[in-house]
Homo-oligomer: A and B are copies of this chain.
């Protein structure tokens, strides 16, 4: 591997993390390299920079394409494919969230739905289904929130994030004024630990 030290540390770290993120070391390294590279790179250059075989690069780029994490670029009078990453980090986040949902959540959601449609044979089945229903309901809440939020323009998404839990102040107001959600049993307490006055 022949890279400036700073880039190399970053690339090696992404390689190590790759496993935890559901891709292998090479895929992580290539992604990191493309992310910091000022220009798109071709397969040969990647293989060279990371000191790995050309065929490994080819397979790993395929995987990155399956994840929608790389873009193909072309340079006039050059037949080679050049690769790069989207440069907007927020776009990268969206792509990543979408892909992980597709791989980690959707299959489970569809299995849960299928199993909940089955007619229970006995009490054990009934208990199991009740548990599956709880899980199903939670995942539905999350994915419908996600489907809603992902439509936001980046600027609004950032505003929403920086608001954080302070949104619940609006929720309290909403509770009182419009009676959205169920009426509260206890009197509303002021929230713990939301001191800095963003609003």
Whether A171 contacts B161 in the complex (CB less than 8 A), given A36-B132, A128-B4, A138-B89, comes out as no
**Cα of A168 to Cα of B161 in the assembled complex, Å:** 11
Q: Which residues of A contact B (CB under 8 A)?
A: 4, 6-7, 9-10, 13-14, 17, 20-22, 35-36, 38, 89-90, 93, 103-104, 107-108, 111, 115, 118, 120-122, 124-125, 127-129, 131-132, 134-135, 137-138, 141-142, 144-145, 147-149, 151-152, 156, 158-168, 170-171, 174, 178, 180-181, 191-194, 198-199
Contact B120 A6 (CB under 8 A): yes
**Cα of A103 to Cα of B113 in the assembled complex, Å:** 30
Contact B118 A6 (CB under 8 A): yes
Shortest CB-to-CB span from A181 to chain B, Å, is 5
**Cα of A153 to Cα of B167 in the assembled complex, Å:** 13
Contact B122 A4 (CB under 8 A): yes
Contact B144 A164 (CB under 8 A): yes
Which residues from B are CB-within-8-Å of A164?
A: 144-145, 147-149
**Residue from the list B13, B111, B178 in contact with A9, Cβ < 8 A:** B111
**Cα of A181 to Cα of B172 in the assembled complex, Å:** 22
**Residue from the list B36, B147, B156, B161 in contact with A128, Cβ < 8 A:** B36
Contact A180 B198 (CB under 8 A): yes
Which residues from B are CB-within-8-Å of A38?
A: 124, 127
Can you list 6 residue pairs at the A/B interface with Cβ under 8 Å? A6-B121, A20-B22, A36-B131, A145-B164, A163-B171, A180-B198
